[in-house]
Structure 1
Amino acid sequence: MTHAQAIQAIVARELATVVRTRSYWVLLLGTAVAIFGLALAGGGPEAGYLPTAVDLRLPMELLVPALAVALGYPTIVADARRGELDVFDTYPLPSWGYVFGVYLGRALAMAAFLVIPLTILAGYVATTAETDAALIATHQGADSIALFARFAVLTLLFGFAILAVVLAASALAWSRRSAVVLAVLVFGGVVLGLDLFVLRGFGGELVGTDSLTGALALSPTSAYRGLLFESVLSSAIETDQQYAAPIASVVGLLCWTILSLGVTTVAVTRR
């Protein structure tokens, strides 16, 4: 068995686990209901794709990390508790291969959990939205499914970064209970805490106006928000103001993903 085949086996195992576990189907249903409910509550689907994305922006900053925690926290610590990590040591599979396989499998599951409801929602918008003169005026005539697709892609990028951090917490945990605690700390610290820290630094003049857009890339949530404003929501607002540094924000999310997977690999190796 080659490394690639071993990684494929890990990915298939993770996907099979998600499919066989009833609670994950409940999670999928809950995610779909939340996305549809929040969109309908804001009235976005009746106005178009861009208003729908605007309505979902803030809720997604909380919903996506919560989904990442639910999908990621039990993975590696559960394998360690069941002794499966010892079994994997007999495979021609390095620690990084195991971590990558677990991450890829859970990332594919997360993609399905988000893409399926968003795709159905996009279809609903296509059949119900009424484009009128007011919408064209307030959104500069820009409202297309391409903007909503961009919103979905950036949401996935944000979710993949948080999922990697949650996997690191799972690898560092010594029990399922501690994994839950660490996952909650990830949610409160990385998702919310860093965001507030950057904004507090700006309010306290520790972060200058010129460096604010770059500093926002340090927080996954701020980076995601900035990317949405720059590449999606800016179509609705005619302004020369820059909300974020897009390249820095993408690099920030990728760094969170790669560094977290590195921490996970080291933690798995030392078990």
Structure 2
Amino acid sequence: MRRRDRVFAVVDRELRTLLRSRTVVAVAAVFAAVVVGLGGVARGSPGGYVSLTYDLLLPVEVLVPTLAFAYVYRSVRGDDERGELAVIRTYDVSRADYVLGVFVGRTAALLVVVLASLGAAGAVASLGTGPTSSFFATHSAGDTLVVYARFVLFAAVYAVVVAALALAVSAATRTKREALAAAVGVLLAVAVGIDLLLVTLVSADVVGGGAIAGLNGLSPASGFRGLVLELAIRPALAEPPAAATASPVVSALGLLTWVVAALGLATAAVWPDVS
């Protein structure tokens, strides 16, 4: 069997596992209800897509990691508890094949939920939209669907990053209790912990305030936020802030580094290399 076939076999298995889980379906329904509900609240806002993006930025920043961990953190640990991981190891499946298959399968399902929910929220918010305020957009093309489309794209990237971290947690822990504790810890660190650490360092004059834009890319949440503010919202504002809130290059590289490091850890930790 070719490597591609082995990976896709794992992907298919993960998708089937998720579809059979009532918890996963319930979490997806709650996420969609909250996001679409916020889109409904923003319907008719004079700020248009810029205002909608602002309204959804913080909820998505918090809810996407929660959804990602719900989908991924029990993946490897669940296989191990049920004895399925030992069976998988008897087949011609390498650690990299298995981790990649789990990651692709779980992340694909996650992205369907995230993209569908945000797409529905955008559609609902666009109903009955009034004239765009000049405070938000510099010209007729300033507040367009492109603003929201970029936000949705960055939200999808953010979901991929957190899914990789959740997979690393699942592979590196050895019991259900360890997995749950580590998942909660990493989730809090991603959502607020690293950002609070950066603020503390700046407040204590350990790091200069001028460096905060670059440091923001070190956190998955702030990296996502920085990309949205600088590449989605800022170009559409009538009066953009004088100083950049983040460096898009640093944010993009930071998010990529988190994915690579997390998948590398998951591959190394999932089982001993006995080949």
Q: TM-score range by the shorter chain?
A: over 0.9
What residue in structure 1 maps to residue 5 of structure 2? 5
TM-score (norm: length of structure 2): 0.92
- Aligned twin of 1:22: 22
Residue aligning to 2:62: 62
Unaligned runs of 5+ in 2: none
Aligned length: 268
Report the secondary structure of 1:146's partner residue.
helix
Query: Is the Cα–Cα contact under 8 Å of residues 195 and 219 in structure 1 kept in the other structure?
Result: yes
8 A contact 1:45–1:51 mirrored in 2:
no
The whole-number CA distance in structure 2 between the counterparts of 1:168 and 1:56 is 27
- Structure 2 counterpart SS, 1:244: coil
Confirm or deny: 8 A CA contact 2:38 2:121 kept in the other structure. no
Task: Summarize deviations over 1:102-141 as a string: whole Å, max 9, x none.
Answer: 0111111111111111112222233321124xx1343223
**Does 1:167 pair with 2:149?**
no
2:15 maps to a residue whose letter is L
Aligned residues of 2:154 and 2:227 also touching (Cα < 8 A):
yes
State the alpha-carbon separation in 1 of the partners of residues 58 and 97 from structure 2. Answer: 35
Counterpart of 2:256 in structure 1 is 254
Partner residue, 1:119 = 119
Could you say which residue in structure 1 is the equivalent of 2:268? 266
Give how far 1:45 is off: 5.2
Q: Distance in 1 between matches of 2:20 and 2:198?
A: 41
Tell me how far apart the structure 1 counterparts of residues 246 and 44 of structure 2 sit (CA, whole Å): 27
Work out the CA distance in 2 between the residues paired with 1:52 and 1:154.
Answer: 15
**Whole-angstrom CA distance in 2 between matches of 1:45 and 1:72:** 36
State the Cα RMSD in Å. 1.6
Q: Distance in 1 between matches of 2:197 and 2:39?
A: 29
Following TM superposition, by how much is the alpha carbon of 1:161 offset from its aligned partner in structure 2, in angstroms? Answer: 0.9
**Counterpart Cα distance in 2 of 1:120 and 1:19:** 21
Aligned to 2:86: 86
Match of 1:139 in 2: 137
Distance 2:44 2:31 in 1: 17
Partner of 2:220: 220
Tell me, in whole angstroms, the C-alpha distance in 1 between the residues paired with 2:66 and 2:81. 24
- Looking at structure 1, the residues matched to 40 and 205 of structure 2 have their Cα atoms a distance apart, in angstroms, of 39
Q: Distance in 1 between matches of 2:40 and 2:125?
A: 10
- Inter-partner Cα distance in structure 2 for 1:52 and 1:74: 33
SS in 2 for 1:178: helix
Looking at structure 2, the residues matched to 45 and 184 of structure 1 have their Cα atoms a distance apart, in angstroms, of: 37
Task: Give, in angstroms, the shift of residue 90 of structure 1.
Answer: 2.4
Q: Which moved more, 1:49-58 or 1:79-88?
A: 79-88
Higher helix share: 1
Q: State the Cα distance separating 1:178 from its structure 2 match.
A: 2.0
User: What's the counterpart of residue 109 of structure 1?
Assistant: 109
1:240 Cα deviation after fit: 3.0
8 A contact 1:44–1:51 mirrored in 2: no
TM, length-normalised to structure 1: 0.93
2:221 counterpart letter in structure 1: T
Identity %: 31
Q: Distance in 2 between matches of 1:3 and 1:82?
A: 25
Contact 1:3 1:92 in 2 (8 A): no
| Inter-partner Cα distance in structure 1 for 2:127 and 2:227 | 28
Distance of 2:102 and 2:126 partners within structure 1 = 36
Task: Output the CA distance in 1 between the equivalents of 2:194 and 2:8.
Answer: 35
Match for residue 40 of structure 2?
A: 40
- Cα distance in 2 for partners of 1:138, 1:90 equals 59
